[in-house]
Structure 1
Amino acid sequence: MSEYGCLLDDLRAEGEELDAVVAPLDTAGWSVPTPAEGWTVAHQIAHLAWTDTWAQRAVTEPAVFRERVRAAGHRGGAMVDEGAAEGARQSPRDLLDGWRAGRRALYGALASLPADTRVPWFGPPMKAPSMATARLMETWAHGQDVADALGVRREPTARLRHIAHLGVRTIGFAFTVHRLPVPQVPVRVELTAPGGGAWSWGPPEAEDRVTGPAVDFCLLVTRRRHRDDLSLTVTGETAQQWAAIAQAFAGPPGPERPRGGGRAVAERGA
């Protein structure tokens, strides 16, 4: 199987894992507040369903997607909240069925694309593998919010490599979105993979470094934990600055979660 095919299988597996967490919930369970202020479990799943629908449209109807984004103008943030709120008002069964159907449609749409196809998005266009990676990252990140709300412990998997890779690739974006100059100093990232083994990015001789468990790095770049709550070692001025603002998802700067895993004032970025 191609590398792109393996990525799509990982995307499907990530959705199925979260599905298994929420499928048994009763109505009260879907109403449990999550660490995203004002968002319940239902809001989290509704947001994923909404974004999957937009992603599927971008793949299958790029001209329609571009026109709808143009018409929306600067209402991107409002659209995210409105989409989550609208979906959360559905019955749990309808919401779950809709999310499942949207996941299948998006998976099929992505599987039909050559890996070098560029897909429009709310920011710059991205190649099909990047779109799949972004959807996997977001599913995992919002799945973390759901797991935290329900007190569920998720076992880290090798799928985290995709999220970590995206986290490293978005170093420049993290600085740009905070209106800071993109540093030219290289950063070495060395992570311990789930179950052992090592993943690394950046030149081995780089003095600025981020090291630690892969799951902690993924929690950092998706802004699901405060840096002080993670077992990461950060060395060098540039690496320190990046660790404070790291953000693997598109949109404006995401708020930092409070120390100790409390609730963020607003968490809408991913």
Structure 2
Amino acid sequence: MSDPTPVFDDLREESRELDLLVAELTEKEWARATPAPRWSIAHQIAHLHWTDRAALLAMSDQEAFREYAGQALTSPESFVDDGADEGARLGPAELLTRWRDGRQALDRALREAAARHTRFPWFGPPMSAASMATGRLMETWAHGQDVADALGVVRVPTDRLRHVVRIGVRARDFAFGVRGLPAPQEEFRVEVRAPSGEWWTYGPENARQRVTGPAVDLCLLVTQRAHRADLVLTAEGADADRWLDIAQAFAGPPGAGREQRQDAPGEPPR
């Protein structure tokens, strides 16, 4: 990415929109359960703050981050849950303030790191500032979907989703590998319609393996915020069809995904 400024700006705007969803919630609403097992709305925001702090540590003290990451990788699921539990125990006003302060600090650090063309360690491969911002946007959007689902809010998709789509497509082989499956030998053609109506395309135009559908549906799939059966995505080819069953844009072990909706089969959650 030659100029990473757009992804930094998009991350800031995605965070701002989620902030608007939670800023006026009552203490009881902060405690409302989300689709993630055992996680309340407070847990979702606490997790985003926890990961922002980890990113800041990676950029400011690489040795300290490597020690921290080593602890996390010994038991990744409990480590993440413990971080969310810690933040969720704060009062809503304190948690909101800490999340906002952390977002602002991360925004500044990302822009400074990009200006220096710095790379820094992460839980997977080393990251550039642009890659880190893209990952943070993906997580902010995905956890924001959990909050929206808990509140019964229908979010209007934006073209900021291009960053989530890009991660999802690039993570194709990871999704196979993390399940012990061989990665497909052929490249896929992915064609998704953006919220603006534009088509975003990836891979060779003449590829035999193809995936098509709305961009928002692919984002819900690769972040495992919706079951495939509830989305309007089409696969051509056995490997492409298999990918839609296991797609995963986030690092870590295979996610459990979501159950198929029973209230309105075939209608994707929004």
For the aligned pair, the TM-score class normalised by the smaller chain equals over 0.9
Relative to structure 1, the CA distance from residue 190 to residue 72 in structure 2 (aligned partners, 3 Å threshold; closer, same or farther) is closer
Corresponding residue of 2:268: none
Relative to structure 1, the CA distance from residue 177 to residue 41 in structure 2 (aligned partners, 3 Å threshold; closer, same or farther) is same
Matched, 1:118 2:119: yes
CA contact (8 A) 2:30 2:92 kept: yes
What is the number of equivalent residue pairs in this alignment? 261
Matched, 1:218 2:219: yes
Corresponding residue of 2:81: 81
Corresponding residue of 1:103: 103
Code of the residue aligned with 1:185 in structure 2: it is: E
CA contact (8 A) 2:11 2:136 kept: yes
CA deviation profile, 1:201-260 (whole Å, cap 9, x unmatched): 010000111101100000000000000100111111110111111000001001121001
In the alignment, structure 1 segments of 5+ residues that lack a partner are 263-270
Matched, 1:143 2:144: yes
Shift of 1:195: 2.1
Instruction: Provide the C-alpha distance between the structure 1 equivalents of 2:73 and 2:221, rounded to a whole number of angstroms.
Output: 30
Code of the residue aligned with 1:134 in structure 2: it is: G
CA contact (8 A) 2:58 2:122 kept: yes
Instruction: Provide the C-alpha distance between the structure 1 equivalents of 2:39 and 2:82, rounded to a whole number of angstroms.
Output: 12
CA contact (8 A) 1:226 1:261 kept: no
SS at match of 1:199: strand
SS at match of 1:124: coil
SS at match of 2:4: helix
Shift of 1:112: 0.3
Shift of 1:107: 0.8
Corresponding residue of 2:202: 201
In the alignment, structure 2 segments of 5+ residues that lack a partner are 264-270
CA deviation profile, 1:151-204 (whole Å, cap 9, x unmatched): 111110010000000000000110111111111111110011102111000100
Matched, 1:170 2:163: no
CA contact (8 A) 2:189 2:204 kept: yes
Corresponding residue of 1:59: 59
Instruction: Provide the C-alpha distance between the structure 1 equivalents of 2:208 and 2:262, rounded to a whole number of angstroms.
Output: 30
Instruction: Provide the C-alpha distance between the structure 2 equivalents of 1:224 and 1:234, rounded to a whole number of angstroms.
Output: 19
Aligned ranges for residues 1-270 of structure 1 at < 5 Å? 3-114=3-114, 116-260=117-261
Code of the residue aligned with 2:219 in structure 1: it is: C
Code of the residue aligned with 1:10 in structure 2: it is: D
CA contact (8 A) 1:57 1:65 kept: yes
Corresponding residue of 1:267: none
CA contact (8 A) 1:47 1:83 kept: yes
TM-score, normalised via structure 1 length? 0.94
Instruction: Provide the C-alpha distance between the structure 2 equivalents of 1:119 and 1:181, rounded to a whole number of angstroms.
Output: 29
Seq. identity, %: 56
Instruction: Provide the C-alpha distance between the structure 1 equivalents of 2:3 and 2:70, rounded to a whole number of angstroms.
Output: 33
Corresponding residue of 1:268: none
Relative to structure 1, the CA distance from residue 150 to residue 177 in structure 2 (aligned partners, 3 Å threshold; closer, same or farther) is same
Shift of 1:76: 2.3
Instruction: Provide the C-alpha distance between the structure 1 equivalents of 2:118 and 2:172, rounded to a whole number of angstroms.
Output: 24
Instruction: Provide the C-alpha distance between the structure 2 equivalents of 1:181 and 1:49, rounded to a whole number of angstroms.
Output: 35
Shift of 1:72: 4.5
TM-score, normalised via structure 2 length? 0.94
Instruction: Provide the C-alpha distance between the structure 1 equivalents of 2:118 and 2:174, rounded to a whole number of angstroms.
Output: 22
Code of the residue aligned with 1:77 in structure 2: it is: E
SS at match of 2:191: strand
Relative to structure 1, the CA distance from residue 223 to residue 73 in structure 2 (aligned partners, 3 Å threshold; closer, same or farther) is closer
Shift of 1:60: 1.5
Instruction: Provide the C-alpha distance between the structure 1 equivalents of 2:69 and 2:161, rounded to a whole number of angstroms.
Output: 30
CA contact (8 A) 1:119 1:131 kept: no
CA contact (8 A) 1:32 1:149 kept: yes
CA contact (8 A) 1:225 1:261 kept: no
Relative to structure 1, the CA distance from residue 38 to residue 9 in structure 2 (aligned partners, 3 Å threshold; closer, same or farther) is same
Shift of 1:73: 4.9
Instruction: Provide the C-alpha distance between the structure 2 equivalents of 1:70 and 1:39, rounded to a whole number of angstroms.
Output: 24
Shift of 1:67: 2.0
Instruction: Provide the C-alpha distance between the structure 2 equivalents of 1:261 and 1:194, rounded to a whole number of angstroms.
Output: 26
CA contact (8 A) 2:114 2:130 kept: no
RMSD of Structure 2 on Structure 1 (CA): 1.3
